[in-house]
């Protein structure tokens, strides 16, 4: 009849795959958003002209801003507003244009309050449809503490060089000059004069000079150790202490499986810690025995220097030697423990990730 439904045609489409794909897309977006919002490193996107497009909360905090929105609103020109050294921005452009990316690119930048922050950037160039660079995206890590530690380490090394020069001039050179003058006096003394006291003075002066030269050689010896394996360098330092450490027995124990491939500037810093610890044993502890142990557990290199000397009490002030050791370990991202008890001895314990010592992590120490 007219107006009545005669036939119904149903058309259906299976959209299960579409809905599942949509759900997967949402999950991926939520995962990315969680990573972006909660990452410890700063994450950013910028235009080629140097304006932020996006930044995560860690990026904002790194520069002293309360939120990414405040950062994006405040910074309209990254080069002029953030870079301490404008030449580094030009270098960033040059490397990114040539290679399409930058890796471990260190930059000194300004914070909101006028203070500065050192960052290490990993970024890639973003290209438009025409194949031209339209911007950059990547991550930055705050390395301010590491840079401070490296600067402190440079100052410590310079202080060490000045100390060695001063001791050579004020002690060794003076003793040698005295011995020479005494010999000249002795040569002019008449026959029958008592020369014994003059000769004794010469012998004592020459002994002091030899000791001073030996200590200087000991302190400078590591300058040529950069390419030697860590084990060989520590063996050399222990052997040298056996020669000059009268009255103290020095022993080296290397645990089975200790990696033989460790070398380079990071390994040298570990050897310097061993060197300073053994120098303290010789000069201050009065120990009869000192043991250096090299081991590895769970991807960490362990170094222990233990002696049976006089130890120290809780009121003992830390000197330049221990300060230097702590700064070296800080640069390596490791941990240093120093324990001592009066009349019992001292234990110095160092742990550093193997990846740092083999070049897999941390900064370049070649210029420190």
DSSP, residue by residue, 219-284: HHGGGG-TTS-HHHHHHHHHHHHHHH-TT-EEEEEE-TT--S---SHHHHHHHHHHHHHHHHIIII
Give the C-alpha separation, 359 to 364, whole Å: 8
pLDDT of residue 367: 43
pLDDT of residue 158: 81
Residue 298 contacts by C-beta under 8 Å, 6 or more apart in sequence?
Answer: none
**Do the Cβ atoms of 332 and 351 come closer than 8 Å?**
no
Give the C-alpha separation, 64 to 113, whole Å: 7
Beta-sheet strand order (sheet of 42-47): 52-55, 42-47, 133-142, 116-127, 101-110
Instruction: Summarize pLDDT for 157-187 with one digit per residue, the tens.
Output: 787 788 788 888 888 899 899 889 988 888 8
What 3-state class would DSSP assign to 297? strand
Beta-sheet strand order (sheet of 335-341): 249-254, 289-297, 300-307, 345-353, 335-341
Q: What is the pTM of this model?
A: 0.56
pLDDT of residue 363: 44
Give the C-alpha separation, 354 to 115, whole Å: 34
Q: What is the mean pLDDT of residues 191-200?
A: 80
Give the C-alpha separation, 233 to 258, whole Å: 14
pLDDT of residue 315: 54
What length does the chain have?
368
What 3-state class would DSSP assign to 116? strand
Residue 3 has pLDDT above 60, yes or no: yes
Domain ranges within the chain, ordered by starting residue: 16-142, 144-224, 225-368
Residue 364 has pLDDT above 70, yes or no: no
What 3-state class would DSSP assign to 108? strand
Range from 12-16, 60-64, 114-118 carrying the lowest mean pLDDT: 12-16
Residue 1 has pLDDT above 80, yes or no: no
Give the C-alpha separation, 263 to 357, whole Å: 7
Instruction: Summarize pLDDT for 236-255 with one digit per residue, the tens.
Output: 889 988 888 888 999 999 99
**Do the Cβ atoms of 123 and 105 come closer than 8 Å?**
yes
CA atoms within 13 A on the CB side of 275: 25
Q: For residue 327, how many other CB atoms are within 10 A of its CB? A: 21
Asked if CATH classification 3.30.450.20 holds for the domain at 16-142, the reply, yes or no, is: yes
Instruction: Summarize pLDDT for 20-77 with one digit per residue, the tens.
Output: 777 777 777 777 678 888 888 999 999 999 999 999 999 999 999 999 999 999 999 9
Instruction: Summarize pLDDT for 126-155 with one digit per residue, the tens.
Output: 999 999 999 999 999 999 988 887 787 677
Give the C-alpha separation, 143 to 124, whole Å: 20
Give alpha helix (H) positions in the chain: 16-38, 57-62, 68-74, 78-82, 86-99, 144-167, 174-188, 196-220, 230-244, 265-280, 320-331, 354-357
Using DSSP bridges, classify how beta strands 249-254 and 289-297 pair: parallel, antiparallel or unpaired. parallel
Give the C-alpha separation, 278 to 60, whole Å: 46
Residue 311 contacts by C-beta under 8 Å, 6 or more apart in sequence?
Answer: 285, 340, 341, 342, 343, 344, 345, 346
**Do the Cβ atoms of 348 and 287 come closer than 8 Å?**
no
Is-same-fold flag (16-142; 225-368)? no
Asked if CATH classification 1.20.120.160 holds for the domain at 225-368, the reply, yes or no, is: no
Percent of the chain with pLDDT over 90: 44
């Amino acid at each position: 009849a007219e107006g009545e439904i005669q036939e119904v045609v149903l058309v259906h489409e299976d959209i299960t795959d579409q809905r599942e794909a949509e759900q997967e897309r949402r999950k991926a977006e939520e995962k990315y958003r969680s990573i972006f919002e909660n990452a410890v490193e700063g994450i950013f996107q910028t235009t080629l002209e140097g304006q932020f497009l996006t930044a995560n909360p860690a990026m904002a905090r790194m520069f002293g801003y309360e939120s990414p929105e405040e950062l994006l609103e405040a910074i309209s020109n990254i080069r002029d507003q953030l870079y301490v050294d404008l030449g580094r921005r030009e270098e960033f452009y040059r490397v990114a244009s040539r290679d399409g990316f930058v890796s471990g690119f260190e930059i000194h930048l300004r914070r909101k309050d006028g203070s500065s922050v050192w960052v290490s950037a990993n970024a890639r160039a973003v290209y438009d449809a025409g194949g031209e660079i339209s911007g950059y995206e990547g991550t930055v890590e705050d390395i301010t503490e590491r840079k401070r530690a490296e600067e402190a380490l440079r100052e410590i090394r310079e202080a060490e060089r000045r100390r060695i020069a001063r001791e050579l001039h004020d002690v060794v050179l003076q003793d040698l000059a005295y011995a020479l003058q005494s010999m000249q006096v002795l040569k002019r003394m008449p026959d029958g004069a008592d020369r014994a006291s003059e000769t004794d003075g010469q012998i004592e002066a020459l002994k002091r000079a030899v000791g001073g030269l030996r200590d200087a050689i000991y302190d400078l010896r590591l300058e040529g150790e950069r390419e030697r394996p860590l084990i060989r360098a520590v063996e050399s330092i222990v052997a040298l202490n056996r020669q000059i450490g009268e009255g103290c027995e020095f022993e080296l124990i290397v645990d089975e499986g200790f990696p033989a491939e460790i070398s380079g500037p990071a390994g040298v810093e570990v050897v310097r810690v061993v060197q300073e610890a053994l120098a303290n044993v010789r000069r201050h502890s009065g120990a009869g025995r000192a043991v250096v142990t090299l081991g590895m557990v769970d991807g960490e290199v362990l170094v222990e220097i233990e002696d049976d000397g006089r130890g120290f009490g809780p009121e003992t002030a830390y000197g330049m030697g221990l300060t230097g050791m702590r700064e070296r370990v800080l640069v390596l991202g490791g941990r240093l423990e120093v324990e001592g008890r009066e009349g019992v001895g001292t234990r110095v314990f160092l742990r550093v990730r193997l990846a740092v010592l083999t070049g897999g992590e941390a900064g370049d120490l070649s210029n420190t």
